[in-house]
Amino acid sequence: MFILPLYVDVPMYRYPVANILLMIGIALFSIMFLLGDDRTFHGMVLDGFTLRGMIGHILLHADLLHLVGNLIFLWAFGNAICAKVGNFNYPALFLGLGIIAAAIHNILDGHPAIGASGAINGVVGMVLVLYPRNEVACFWFFFMRGGMFYVSSMWLILLWLAFDLWGVVTGDLGVAYWGHIGGLLGGAAVAMLMLKTGLIEIADTDQTLLDILEQRRG
């Protein structure tokens, strides 16, 4: 069964222009990488702690399926975060989350890697903290049948985290699972820090992960 997230049901305070431009940039670089000479992109693969690799790997993908899958997730979750933090802040935030994910991957895995998955998982981690009970609209497809369903972002994201943890345990080296996990946890930590310092304000009608944890403590 294929499950694809389409959007997170959140207030859109502004149009997510920066996320759309980021998606276009990633798509263009990835297509040039797939069609061009690998030497043109020398050093942009994540392979150690070089700055070019820790940033450049976000723009490259192994094939069209890899690219399209990441762009779908970036559309679904990136629009929500971009609309919250603003079009000027979002690109720097996305880049920082990608570097965090790359660092965790280098420390705990170390294999060469490309793809925006780590940075996107950072955005997903921010959604987990800021909008844990907001619904994610998802499309499912199985044996020529398909449809829509809605699920709280918290449960969907925790399910994906469980798959990544399972990947680490089973030792599948074809996917940068530690980058995914590091990005998600990094994004969650950044979102919590921004909430604590007042850099992000949440509407009274929304409930953050911090609100849920405080209620359970009480």
Assessment of whether the complete model's pTM goes beyond 0.85: yes
Tokens 């997730």 found at? 73
CB 188 within 8 A of CB 158: no
Q: How many CB atoms sit inside 10 A of residue 128's CB?
A: 24
**What integer best gives the mean pLDDT of the chain?**
92
Residues paired with 141 in a beta bridge: 2, 146
Tell me the two tokens of residue 5.
């997230």
Q: How far apart are CA 87 and CA 59, in angstroms?
A: 19
Tokens 């149009």 found at? 15
For position 173, what pLDDT does the model report? 64
Q: Is the pLDDT of residue 135 over 80?
A: yes
Domains of the chain, earliest start first: 2-217 (1.20.1540.10)
